[in-house]
A and B are shown apart, each in its own frame.
Chain A
Amino acid sequence: MTQLPQDAAGVTPTERPPALAAAMAGGVETDEGGTSLWTAALKRLVRNPSAIVGAVIVAAFLIVALLAPVLAPYRPSTTEWANQVTPSRLPAFSPQHPLGLDPFGSDLLTQLIYGARQSLIIGVVSTVLGLLGGALLGILAGAFGGWVDTLVMRLVDILLSIPSLLLAVSVAAIVGRRPESLMIAIAAAQVPVFARLLRGSMLKQRGQDYVLAATSLGLRRRSVVMGHVFPNSLGPVIVQATLILATAIIEVAALSYLGMGSPDPTVAEWGRMLVKAQERLESYPHLTILPGLCIAVTALGFTLLGEALREALDPKTRK
Chain B
Amino acid sequence: MTDNLLEAAGLMVHYPIRSGMVVNRTIGHVKAVDGVDLAVPRGSTYGLVGESGCGKSTLGRALLRLEDITAGTVTFQGRDITKLRGEELRKLRRHAQMVFQDPMASLDPRQSVQSMLTEPLRVHGLAESDRAEFGKNSAKAHAAKAASMLELVGLPRSALGKYPHEFSGGQRQRIGIARAMILNPELVIADEPVSALDVSVQAQVLNLLSDLQDRFGLTYVVVAHDLAVVRHISDTIGVMYLGRMVEEAPADDLYREPLHPYTTSLLSAIPVPDPVVEDARERVLLDGDLPSPANPPSGCRFHTRCPWRRDELCATEDPPLREIAPGRRVACHWAETIAAGRIEPHAAAVVPAKDAEGAGGSATAAD
Contacts and interface: CB of A to CB of B under 8 A. Distances in A.
Are A and B close enough to touch in the complex, i.e. CB under 8 Å? Answer: yes
Interface of A: 1, 3-10, 31, 33-38, 40, 208-210, 212-220, 223, 228, 231-232
Contacts of B226: none
B66 A212 contact: yes
Interface SS of chain B: helix
Given A8-B207, A37-B163, A216-B64, A1 B151 contact: yes
Contacts of A208: 105-106
B257 interface: no
A217 B154 contact: no
Nearest to B161: A34
B55 to A, nearest CB: 17
Given A8-B208, A228-B108, A215 B66 contact: yes
Contacts of A8: 154, 203-205, 207-208
A217 B100 contact: no
Interface in B87-112: 90-94, 97-98, 100-102, 105-112
B110 A3 contact: no
Interface of B: 61, 64, 66, 90-94, 97-98, 100-102, 105-112, 119-120, 123-124, 133, 148, 151-152, 154-156, 158, 161-163, 165-166, 176, 179, 183, 203-205, 207-208, 211, 215
Given A217-B123, A218-B123, A1 B148 contact: yes
Nearest to B113: A34
Contacts of B204: 8-10
B151 A3 contact: yes
> Which of A33, A38, A217 is packed against the most chain B CB atoms within 10 Å?
A217
Given A8-B203, A209-B102, 11 more contacts: A1-B152, A4-B215, A6-B207, A37-B163, A212-B61, A213-B98, A213-B107, A220-B90, A228-B111, A231-B110, A232-B108
A209 B151 contact: no
Contact of B100 (A4, A9, A209): A209
A243 B135 CA distance: 51
Contacts of B123: 217-220, 223
B108 A216 contact: no
Interface SS of chain A: loop
A218 B94 contact: yes
Contacts of A31: 156, 158
A148 to B, nearest CB: 14
B206 to A, nearest CB: 9
Contact of A38 (B66, B94, B110, B179): B110
A224 to B, nearest CB: 10
B108 A214 contact: yes
A212 B161 contact: no
A210 B108 contact: yes
The 5 closest A-B pairs by CB, nearest first: A218-B93, A8-B204, A209-B106, A34-B161, A9-B154
Contacts of A10: 204
B236 to A, nearest CB: 23
B181 to A, nearest CB: 12
B96 to A, nearest CB: 8
Contacts of B205: 8
Nearest to A5: B211
Contacts of B148: 1
A37 B163 CA distance: 8
